[in-house]
Structure 1
Amino acid sequence: MSTTPTTAGAVVPPLFQGLFDDAAVFPPGNLPVAEAVPAHLAHRAAPYADAVGPLLCGAGRLGELAAAVGAVTGTAAGGTGAVSADGTGPRLRVGLVLPGGSSELGPALTSAAPFVVAGVELATRDAREAVAALDLLLPPDVPAAVELPRELLRGDGLEEVLDVLVDSPYRAKFRTGGVVAGAFPDEAELAGFLTGCAQRGLPYKCTAGLHHAVRHTDPATGFEHHGFLNVLLAAAETDPKAAAEILAERSGEVLAEAVRTLTDRQVTVIRNSFTAFGTCSIAEPLDDLAALGLLSPDLTPQEDR
């Protein structure tokens, strides 16, 4: 299968469809909600819209989000039109991020009623308790992901958590970066999570630190960032050593060539595993793919051209 599109009638390749959840309001981007809403609506109307997932929002900012959408559409914040792209169209798709755990779930779902809840991301220290809360309160058509602190996912802790989630309808969520060096797992730690999920057929999403396609050292901070292409290619591996080797690859050309050789079946397996990741920039990952020849330049944000 070739994932290199032609310019005429360019489409987002299946490997990248819905991969980039819009986390513009989260660190390190920290875009004000009033700016994030029109930017997200522009992404959803752009030629690359198929690559963009929901707008992620913390539970405590849903009122602010409704007001911002109302300001963009010229409708009252509490009305149905306040959450549509143009005042008449489909309601805004929002991913609820709940760092406060299960106690936030019920109130957040109530506050999010004006929106289409496209997913819930629940942080917890107890996977069983989180699953029980989701079973009780989450509508059956809303997907969810459960995130535990990385310190609880070391050794036998990882196996125990993944075994709890594989018996549930929910995904795992893994933090791949942050604003301090310690927030970035090394290749072995991330490979352990990826292969543990692959061995169980457990889907997952990632968050933070994956703005760029290829593993690199950030020149400003010195932090080691994983590349989202590395993670995609490692997603189908069940051997931790093989996955770690892919995660360590720093050549964009090597990774791009590996992507080009993927079969349709391999793409399906990969995306059934690695479903999405949150990125505070939609432009950066698209630009990286275009630079590697994996995405038509027509499918990058206009302001970057």
Structure 2
Amino acid sequence: MTLFTALIDDAGLFPPTSLHMSDALERHRRDQERGDEVLTHRFLCPASRIDRLRAESFLPLRIGLIVDTPDMPPFDDLPVDFVEIRLPPDETVEQLVRRLDLPPGIRLFVEVPPGKPAMDVPEGAALKVRCGGTAAEDFPPAEQLAAFIRFCADHDVPFKATAGLHHAVRHFDPTLGVDRHGFLNLVLAVCETVEDRDPVPVLRTTDVGQLVRLARAVAEETAKRARRLLVSYGSCNTGTPIEDLRTLGVL
């Protein structure tokens, strides 16, 4: 279970689900009450909607703040433990960390292009990688994603993932005409990387049986190392990933 514990952040406000705030919080409340261990029970909220969040009667136990505004709004009154922000083109990760100067206890994840990992990640900071989106060009090739994972493993930089990871196994999306990455592929690719193997084949495979066999064979120490590296990923649907894992029989 280590491999999948506290894996999924709640991104219900984001596409393609794009729930209204009240609906997203109601779903989050139900998930929180059920207490499924695959979920982090962290609610991801854009900075632009933080006042709308404050107006609701229910408040999540943990909040990941997604910075989508020019300036970061105050959030001292909220249980924010993650802040996620895209790296501006004119800044390095180190410069961004110094500029934001977040309070102790709040973890910063800096989103960088998967093909060009930043080389100046200061201690305490982490990275974020986008695995998909609303257009075919938003989905990085397996080789780019593998290079990002290798960079993080080689430099001991934790990371989280976002977008596109709707199902466990890699599959073709006829609407966009692109292969969607599977979150199980991603988790196992991190396991391959920490064991000094090439993660590309696992990222590219659509062989369900092979992925299930690999998942069941992951040693506990490898799972711990992999999950120290891969912190979590955001999913706009919190039910389907759990259903996928149960259907595959790997929980």
TM-score by length of 1: 0.76
Say if 2:138 is the partner of 1:183.
yes
Name the residue aligned to 2:80: 117
Among 63, 69, 78, the alignment partner of 1:94 is 63
Q: Map 1:76-225; keep pairs closer than 5 Å.
A: 83=59, 92-100=61-69, 103-105=70-72, 107=73, 110=74, 112-125=75-88, 126=91, 127-134=93-100, 136=101, 138-148=102-112, 150=113, 154=115, 157-158=116-117, 161=118, 163-165=119-121, 167-225=122-180
**Whole-Å separation in 1 of the counterparts to 2:130 and 2:233:** 10
Aligned residues of 2:64 and 2:83 also touching (Cα < 8 A): yes
Higher share in helix: 1
Q: Deviations over 1:73-120 (max 9, x none)?
A: 5xxxxxxxxx3xxxxxxx6311000134xx533x2xx2x333211210
Counterpart of 1:16, as a letter, is F
Give the alignment's Cα RMSD to 1 decimal.
1.9
Aligned residues of 1:58 and 1:96 also touching (Cα < 8 A): yes
**Whole-Å separation in 1 of the counterparts to 2:172 and 2:17:** 18
**Whole-Å separation in 2 of the counterparts to 1:113 and 1:241:** 43
Q: Map 1:201-280; keep pairs closer than 5 Å.
A: 201-236=156-191, 237=193, 242-280=198-236
**Whole-Å separation in 1 of the counterparts to 2:77 and 2:38:** 23
Number of positions where the alignment pairs a residue of Structure 1 with one of Structure 2: 247
Aligned residues of 1:15 and 1:271 also touching (Cα < 8 A): yes
SS of the aligned residue for 2:187 comes to helix
Name the residue aligned to 1:27: 15
**Whole-Å separation in 2 of the counterparts to 1:47 and 1:253:** 29
What displacement does 1:223 show?
2.5
Among 39, 43, 48, the alignment partner of 1:60 is 48
What displacement does 1:52 show?
3.0
Deviates more, 1:40-49 or 1:173-182: 40-49
**Whole-Å separation in 1 of the counterparts to 2:250 and 2:200:** 23
What percentage of residue pairs aligned between the two structures are identical? 32
Counterpart of 2:106, as a letter, is V
What displacement does 1:207 show?
0.2
Counterpart of 1:93, as a letter, is R
Deviates more, 1:32-41 or 1:211-220: 211-220
Aligned residues of 1:176 and 1:185 also touching (Cα < 8 A): yes
**Given the superposition, is the C-alpha separation of residues 238 and 264 from structure 1 closer, same or farther in structure 2, using an over 3 Å criterion?**
closer
**5+ residue gaps in structure 2?**
none
What displacement does 1:292 show?
0.2
TM-score by length of 2: 0.92
Counterpart of 2:134, as a letter, is V
**Given the superposition, is the C-alpha separation of residues 195 and 53 from structure 1 closer, same or farther in structure 2, using an over 3 Å criterion?**
farther
**Whole-Å separation in 2 of the counterparts to 1:206 and 1:215:** 15
Q: Deviations over 1:31-54 (max 9, x none)?
A: 111100111011111141552341
Aligned residues of 1:29 and 1:280 also touching (Cα < 8 A): yes
Higher share in strand: 2
Q: Deviations over 1:203-258 (max 9, x none)?
A: 10000001111111124433311111111111141699821111011112211111
Aligned residues of 1:131 and 1:168 also touching (Cα < 8 A): no
Deviates more, 1:188-197 or 1:112-121: 112-121
**5+ residue gaps in structure 1?**
1-12, 74-82, 84-90, 296-305
SS of the aligned residue for 1:164 comes to coil
